[in-house]
Amino acid sequence: MQSETTPGTTPAPAGKTLPGNEAMLSVRNLKKVYKTDGGDIEAVRNLTFDLKAGELACLVGPSGSGKTTLLKCISGLMAPTEGEVLLNGTRVSGPPKKMAVVFQEYGRSLFPWMRVRENVELPLKNQGVPRAERDKLVDDALEAVGLSHVPQSYPWQLSGGMQQRVAIARAVAYQPEVLLMDEPFAAVDAQTRADLEDLIRTVWRKLGVTVLFVTHDIDESVYLGERVIILSSSPTVIQEDLAIDLPDERDQLNTRSLPRFTELRHHVYEQIQLAKQGHRPAAAVRTGTGVAVS
Ligand SMILES: Nc1ncnc2c1ncn2[C@@H]1O[C@H](COP(=O)(O)OP(=O)(O)OP(=O)(O)O)[C@@H](O)[C@H]1O
């Protein structure tokens, strides 16, 4: 059966490799060169990876390695120079309907003149979702992020962590198949960050959404992900694609105390140090759970 074409996507041309049955999101030989007055900047050289439906993968890499560039290409906000992004086998050529993005700067992504409820509801209104359905989706999303008690507040009346919860609720209410998050917790305090990390895992498990989570924080990537994709320095390729074989049930105290957590975080740290020093792998290597970490 042919894939349906949704807004922001066009059918993949014949002859292109379609993802395997399980792949929801495929990044294929993605390259991005920025044209500037000072010359070309090759931000991303060649990235290829798949995300399975329902997977939670974290993306880490040195500063300037092209993480935001990659997310912009995946979300259809920017066209790649070469290569393509496929969502359910269909090429992304603009913001796809079933994708939501949460950015770091919640302060700028929420409308200050709209109440919490209106902010969460807005994308659904724009999609023409009927009122009764909209109300239920907004109620459920606010409950999922623990904000049922402040629907009538304005964002500026809330703490930073609560504002980011509003941004997450808005994405959740939209019922995306794929949720992209670009360093969403970078601007909140450590305690709030830990709470929001657990919130993401709870929401992810409850909704079965596919999540690609960009972070600078190595511990966060290991704690959250089923997989950590490590990028090289720019021009970017995949340095390593690491399976995180920690127990599925995670909690801030016990999981972070596991010897395996420490091994994995050391390994990711070392890889990022190598990337910063300019080390480039001959080819992207998918590392299984038996990865030898020092
Ligand atoms: N609009 C642009 N025009 C020109 N160059 C750009 C543009 N956006 C990004 N770049 C360059 O592309 C490279 C990758 O930038 P990008 O912001 O994607 O990296 P990043 O990994 O998200 O960085 P950070 O971790 O510091 O947020 C950098 O060299 C950056 O200077």
> Looking at this predicted complex, what is its ipTM?
0.97
Q: What is the pLDDT of residue 187?
A: 80
Q: Is the CB of 41 under 6 A from ligand 1?
A: yes
Residue corresponding to tokens 């999981």:
255
Q: Per-residue b/e over 63-100, b at no fewer than 16 CB within 10 Å?
A: eebbbbbbbbbbbbeeebbebbbbbbbbbbeeebebbb
What is the rounded distance in angstroms from the CA atom of residue 68 to the CA atom of residue 35?
17
Q: What is the pLDDT of residue 4?
A: 36
Q: Is the CB of 78 under 6 A from ligand 1?
A: no
CA of 157 to the centre of ligand 1 (A): 33
Nearest C-alpha neighbor of 245 from the set 230, 232, 228: 228
Q: Provide the terminal-to-terminal Cα distance of the chain, rounded to the nearest Å.
A: 47
Q: What is the pLDDT of residue 282?
A: 65
Q: What is the pLDDT of residue 234?
A: 79
The enclosing H or E element of 75 equals: none
Q: Using the atom order of ligand 1, give the atom closest to the CA of residue 183.
A: 27
Rounded mean pLDDT, 138-160:
91
Q: What is the number of alpha carbons within 13 Å of residue 65 lying toward its C-beta? A: 29
Strands 82-87, 23-36: pairing is antiparallel
Q: What is the pLDDT of residue 285?
A: 44
Q: Is the CB of 234 under 6 A from ligand 1?
A: yes
Task: Report yes or no: 179 and 102 within 8 Å, Cβ to Cβ.
Answer: yes
The neighbour count for residue 136, using CB atoms within 10 Å, is: 12
Ligand 1 pocket test target in 30, 31, 47, 69 with most atoms within 8 Å of CB: 69
pLDDT bracket for residue 8 (50, 70, 90): low
Q: Is the CB of 65 under 6 A from ligand 1?
A: yes
Q: Is the CB of 48 under 6 A from ligand 1?
A: no
What is the rounded distance in angstroms from the CA atom of residue 102 to the CA atom of residue 183?
8
Q: Report all structural domains of the chain as residue ranges with CATH numbers, in order of start.
A: 9-98+176-287 (3.40.50.300)
Ligand 1 pocket test target in 33, 60, 68, 70 with most atoms within 8 Å of CB: 68
How far out from the chain centre does Cα 122 lie?
A: 21
Residues 6+ apart with CB under 8 A from 3: 11, 88, 89, 90
Cis peptide before 235 (omega within 30 of 0): yes
Residues 6+ apart with CB under 8 A from 9: 76, 87, 90, 91, 92, 93, 94, 96
pLDDT bracket for residue 7 (50, 70, 90): low
Nearest residue (by CA) to ligand 1, atom 11, is 43
Q: Is the CB of 67 under 6 A from ligand 1?
A: yes
Q: What is the pLDDT of residue 206?
A: 87
Q: What is the pLDDT of residue 189?
A: 85
As to burial, measured by CB atoms within 10 angstroms (0-12 exposed, 13-18 middle, 19+ buried), residue 112 is exposed
Per DSSP, the three-state class of 267 is helix
Q: Using the atom order of ligand 1, give the atom closest to the CA of residue 231.
A: 21
Nearest C-alpha neighbor of 4 from the set 12, 211, 19, 78: 12
Rounded mean pLDDT, 233-239:
86
89-100 pLDDT tens trace: 999 999 998 899
Give Cα separations from 23 to 15, 132, 155 (angstroms).
18, 33, 37
Q: What is the number of alpha carbons within 13 Å of residue 283 lying toward its C-beta? A: 3
Out of 55-59, 179-183, 184-188, 241-245, pick the least confident: 184-188
Q: What is the pLDDT of residue 52?
A: 94
